Structure 1
Amino acid sequence: MDFILDRSSKTPLYKQIATYIENGISTGEFSPDVPLPSERHLAKELLVNRSTVVAAYDELQSLGIVERIKGSGTHISTDIWGISDKRIPNWGRYVEDGSFLPNLPLVQKIRTETQNNGMINMASGELAADLFPSEQLHSIFKESPFEEYLGYDHPQGNVDLRDTISKHLSAYKGISIDTASILITSGAQQALHLIVQCLLKPGDAVAIEDPSYAYSLPLFKSAGLRTFLLKSDKNGIDPEEIVALHKKHRIRMVFVNPDFQNPTGIQMSLNRRKRILEISSDYGIPVVEDDPYSITAFDGNVASSLKRMDTNGNVLYISSLSKIVASGLRIGWVVGPKKVIQRLADAKQQVDFGHSIFPQWVAHTFVGSRQFDEHINKIRQQLETRRKTLAQALTHFLGEKAAFIEPDGGIHLWCQLHVDVDEFQLLDESLKRGFAFVPGSIFGESKGFVRFTYGRSKRADIWEGISRFAKALQYLQETNRSSDDR
């Protein structure tokens, strides 16, 4: 046998064996008329345990490539060859080999579990249904029925919507920008994907906050980027860490979420914002500012964004309506230099031929109306009330077992547990009791933290949800105590 296992490879031995056999079937090395090598024979030839060969055959059987016949051994599946000697594609292998990586298994699990009826969902980063502006939209639709042409629109997005977004940015955030510097995207996440795919290349080094939502995204790995973490404190990241990382790794781009950051709720200090812009100018490092939450400031005072202070065009600014109107609208935007926006727009056209006109019309009509101001005032009040309810519930049910800082805006609260439990076991126990949250390690290297999204649940559900969480935590403590006593 010419095949030699690569024991230094990160690919498990059983997968190497499965690939070897599959390739041998493709090339005709293994005949469909003769049983495949026995488990014992193959284990002896390759100097591995028989269980390794069993695992390889199990995988091939699960993919429909081989079949086990008791007393006769392992054979090439008749479904693979059939009477015409044609093969079925190995879809399992295709799924594994694609360059676009899947979400983390834990993220997939949370999304699946939160679809269950009766689940109190404080994991999903969105607004609760009762915060959706349904009455305002019904009123608008009555007064201004949709009469637009449902054809392809401008590559950068509907001109009317971009004009409305330009006025919105000026009125709420003090950012002066013309419509040619705006690209409408399918939420903020598409904007991030376009930036990563169009402006960076495999091997480039980028800096992201730790903890941060960006840490949970596989898009950086899919693009072959090297990510480096910037630790945060109560004032946000330390800008000098960007300098240190750049000198060592030549950082090509920095990703930050300065206002009511996801997951910590931190608001970056003004001095640190200014210093980031200085560093960006000194070293020529672009900054991507993700700003989904600043407008939710409970006191109505929206902080000065990096983009507002950017005089050199170093900042790419991303925002959306997902956290302030409705996630299902899928309306986001990115603001930047015109040549960058044109490049991103060209890539978006290749992906989806531009954004659907109907949600753009809804966004333009609503954001440009007086009802939008009323809605923003409402969600500020409601979110502050729900944050207070969450803080009260945590204090009541957990007491000294948890510590947290109440954010002044946004939809998330970052909580540190003073109890030594496995956060994944805690999630499992909580899900069993009908409560979902997000373990802190999804967002970075910090352990012993959890994120609760108070914007996603009604006040009564928040109280009940934390009660369920506390019971799950208590159960794990008692279980661990019992194990230690044995």
Structure 2
Amino acid sequence: MVWKPDRNAKTPIYKQIVEYIELGISSGEFSADSVLPSERNLAKELDVNRSTIVAAYEELQSLGIVERKKGSGTRVSTDIWGISRKRIPNWGRYVEDGSFLPNLPLVQRIRSEVQKNDLINLASGELSSDLMPTDQFRQILSNQPFLENLGYDHPQGNEVLRDTISTHVKEYKNIHTSPSSILITSGAQQALHLIVECLLKRGDAVAIEDPSYCYSLPVFQSAGIRTFLLPVDEHGINPDDLIALHKKHRIRMVFLNPDYQNPTGSILHLSRRKRILELSTEFGIPIIEDDPYSLTSYNGEVNPTLKSLDTNGNVLYISSLSKIVASGLRIGWIIGPPQVIQRLADAKQQVDFGHSVFPQWVASQFLGSEHFTNHIDMIRSQLKLRKDVITSSLKEFTCNQVDFYSPQGGIHLWCRVNPSINEYQLLEESIKNGVAFVPGSIFGSKKGYIRFTFGRGEPKDISKGILRFAEALRSLR
């Protein structure tokens, strides 16, 4: 065999081998029922690992091109063109070739690890069960009769819930809107997905924060969207950076998380908010404001959202109950111009025929009751307690070897470790010790950072988790 795989090509070597053998069979170089080289011999001839040949032969077998029998080797199928031949779908190829990209392997690994009961989870961005209003929900279900129609609801979501949300955002965030400008979604994640899929096209340039949760999402890459980074400091992004990006790349949309930003916990300064809105109007760039955390401010003061300052209708506003009530309720919303909301609602209906009726009813009852105000007060005090526990534990157990920005709200702590320490090795050692966090590079371009999430753990577990982390840190240092 004269042919050799191209090691510089983007196509995996095993796929190159598959393509070469397929071509050889179709050209007659490998005739029907001929025996192909053994795995070991072909691996030696092509100077590749035997596992590469195994992968190639297995794919050829799944395509029905070759037959493999233990002790007899691998043969070209005698009935390769037969119409009666039964073939097994090559599910591996389907999985690899799908247009919607999977999560990063490390993200998948962390999600798998945190399912273990003996591991302290400082990675997942959600509230612990004791911070969720379970008793209040039981009371609502006991006292309020459920009289809603269980058929398909309005494409934009239940009108009573949308009316409740319009009252809620006016009272808590000074956002004036109407039910016709609201779309109920399955959390903020679906809202982001709908916006990317419906309002952008392949090749468009968007600006996202660096670091940011958006950076970790494959939805942009799946849709062929080009992302450009806006560095985040303690006061959020710098509007001048947006000007520079737009001049160079003609930015079509900006994604921002202004309050207690994930992962840094920073707050976008009021003067910067106003300047960004000015630039949005000057350049005609829509702003996507993702606001899951503003009501978690520990002192009870809620910063003016971009949407509340928006007088021109340039902001699409996203929020949800996931980070302040219960992640499993799956209630989020988008507020924007009616024509945009109708477009997104049409897409959502194509996917799921509208949101589930029952959680919408529960959410409306809870948001419109006195329970909500009491619950938010409790959330603020409990999250501040957990933030104090994690920051004091880091100071005590790591001997000030970890720098961090202490947030004034939210559920995340952004930490800087010694740059010489590999954050992935640190994660592996920490998991061995029984605690998980998220390496900072998942969220952006900066190295030597990690994110702890303290909303999910009880105070005693948070302290124990940081002690385990400190032991892992010492073992590497």
What's 1:341 paired with?
A: 341
Q: Which runs of 5+ in 2 are unaligned?
A: none
Range 20-29 or range 276-285, more displaced? 20-29
What's 1:49 paired with?
A: 46
Q: Distance in 1 between matches of 2:160 and 2:300?
A: 27
Q: Which runs of 5+ in 1 are unaligned?
A: 478-486
Q: Determine helix, strand or coil for the equivalent of 2:164.
A: helix
Q: Distance in 2 between matches of 1:100 and 1:22?
A: 27
Q: Determine helix, strand or coil for the equivalent of 1:455.
A: coil
What's 1:439 paired with?
A: 439
User: CA deviation digits over 1:30-87, x for unaligned, max 9?
Assistant: 555222356698689xxx7332686144343278535655764423589999994121
Where do 1:55-454 residues align within 5 Å? 55-61=52-58, 64-65=61-62, 72-76=72-76, 84-418=84-418, 420-454=420-454
Q: Determine helix, strand or coil for the equivalent of 2:252.
A: strand
Q: Determine helix, strand or coil for the equivalent of 1:273.
A: helix
User: CA deviation digits over 1:140-172, x for unaligned, max 9?
Assistant: 111103232211000000000000110010000
Q: Determine helix, strand or coil for the equivalent of 1:415.
A: strand
Q: Distance in 2 between matches of 1:178 and 1:24?
A: 65
CA RMSD of aligned residues (A): 2.6
Q: Which amino acid aligns with 1:266?
A: S
Structure 1 outlier segments of 4+, above 6 Å: 1-4, 23-29, 39-44, 77-83
How far residue 468 of structure 1 moved from its aligned partner, in angstroms, is 0.5
Q: Determine helix, strand or coil for the equivalent of 1:116.
A: coil
Q: Determine helix, strand or coil for the equivalent of 1:176.
A: coil
Q: Which amino acid aligns with 1:217?
A: L
User: CA deviation digits over 1:430-457, x for unaligned, max 9?
Assistant: 1111111000000001111111111110
Is contact 1:401-1:419 (8 Å) kept? no
Q: Distance in 2 between matches of 1:267 and 1:372?
A: 24
Task: Report the TM-score when normalising by structure 1.
Answer: 0.92
Q: Distance in 2 between matches of 1:76 and 1:391?
A: 64
Sort the Cα spacing of 1:263 and 1:83 in 2 relative to 1 into closer, same or farther, 3 A.
same
What's 1:36 paired with?
A: 36
How far residue 232 of structure 1 moved from its aligned partner, in angstroms, is 1.1
Is contact 2:33-2:78 (8 Å) kept? no
User: CA deviation digits over 1:267-290, x for unaligned, max 9?
Assistant: 110000011101100000111000
Q: Distance in 2 between matches of 1:29 and 1:364?
A: 69
Is contact 1:319-1:333 (8 Å) kept? yes
Q: Distance in 2 between matches of 1:79 and 1:366?
A: 65
User: CA deviation digits over 1:92-141, x for unaligned, max 9?
Assistant: 00100011000000000000000011111010000011001011111111
Q: Distance in 2 between matches of 1:168 and 1:25?
A: 67
Is contact 1:127-1:323 (8 Å) kept? yes
Q: Distance in 1 between matches of 2:133 and 2:123?
A: 22
Q: Which amino acid aligns with 1:242?
A: L
Sort the Cα spacing of 1:115 and 1:43 in 2 relative to 1 into closer, same or farther, 3 A.
closer
Q: Distance in 2 between matches of 1:90 and 1:205?
A: 35
What's 1:483 paired with?
A: none
What's 1:482 paired with?
A: none
Is contact 1:400-1:418 (8 Å) kept? no
Is contact 2:33-2:77 (8 Å) kept? no
How far residue 9 of structure 1 moved from its aligned partner, in angstroms, is 3.1
What's 1:481 paired with?
A: none
Is contact 1:63-1:92 (8 Å) kept? no
Residue identity (%): 64
Q: Determine helix, strand or coil for the equivalent of 2:399.
A: helix
Sort the Cα spacing of 1:89 and 1:69 in 2 relative to 1 into closer, same or farther, 3 A.
closer
Q: Distance in 2 between matches of 1:172 and 1:81?
A: 68
Sort the Cα spacing of 1:283 and 1:3 in 2 relative to 1 into closer, same or farther, 3 A.
farther
Range 138-147 or range 183-192, more displaced? 138-147
Q: Which amino acid aligns with 1:324?
A: I
How far residue 310 of structure 1 moved from its aligned partner, in angstroms, is 0.5
Sort the Cα spacing of 1:54 and 1:470 in 2 relative to 1 into closer, same or farther, 3 A.
closer
User: CA deviation digits over 1:152-198, x for unaligned, max 9?
Assistant: 00000000000011001000000000010000000000000000000
Q: Distance in 1 between matches of 2:27 and 2:148?
A: 57
Q: Determine helix, strand or coil for the equivalent of 1:292.
A: coil
Q: Distance in 2 between matches of 1:81 and 1:54?
A: 28
How far residue 419 of structure 1 moved from its aligned partner, in angstroms, is 5.8
What's 1:11 paired with?
A: 11
Q: Determine helix, strand or coil for the equivalent of 2:280.
A: helix
Range 77-86 or range 427-436, more displaced? 77-86
How far residue 476 of structure 1 moved from its aligned partner, in angstroms, is 1.8
Sort the Cα spacing of 1:419 and 1:357 in 2 relative to 1 into closer, same or farther, 3 A.
same
User: CA deviation digits over 1:452-481, x for unaligned, max 9?
Assistant: 11111000000000001011111122xxxx
Range 92-101 or range 13-22, more displaced? 13-22
Sort the Cα spacing of 1:167 and 1:18 in 2 relative to 1 into closer, same or farther, 3 A.
same
Range 281-290 or range 79-88, more displaced? 79-88
Is contact 1:205-1:227 (8 Å) kept? yes
Sort the Cα spacing of 1:83 and 1:410 in 2 relative to 1 into closer, same or farther, 3 A.
same
Is contact 2:32-2:80 (8 Å) kept? no
Q: Determine helix, strand or coil for the equivalent of 1:117.
A: coil
Does 1:469 pair with 2:469? Answer: yes
Q: Determine helix, strand or coil for the equivalent of 2:209.
A: strand
Q: Distance in 1 between matches of 2:152 and 2:60?
A: 41
Task: Report the TM-score when normalising by structure 2.
Answer: 0.93
Q: Distance in 1 between matches of 2:452 and 2:367?
A: 28
Q: Distance in 2 between matches of 1:123 and 1:83?
A: 52
Matched residues, number: 474
Q: Distance in 1 between matches of 2:84 and 2:31?
A: 15
